[in-house]
Amino acid sequence: MSDKKDVKYFRELAYYSSIGFALALSIFIGLGIGLYLDGRFGTHPWLTFVFLGMGIAAGYRNIGLAIKKSRNRNWEK
């Protein structure tokens, strides 16, 4: 019985630990796309701002989905 709880605990720990990484990664991907497109089209800094904002929004959306998933798990217990 203890092994199942340990596996569940470590699985949830890994999932929640990856949220911060996903947030940072989505921001940097948005920033990278924006910088690339600004350099390509010469629209500096507008596309960088647009895609950075989209990356930030995507990151916080992932956090919101994780919170929703956590709440659903807590209600099932």
Spatial separation of the C-alpha atoms in residues 27 and 75, rounded to whole Å:
31
Spatial separation of the C-alpha atoms in residues 8 and 69, rounded to whole Å:
15
What separation in angstroms does the CA of 54 have from each of 14, 25, 29, 41?
26, 12, 10, 19
Model confidence pLDDT, tens digit, residues 10-41: 888 888 889 989 999 999 999 999 999 999 99
Model confidence pLDDT, tens digit, residues 34-77: 999 999 999 999 999 999 999 999 999 999 998 898 888 767 65
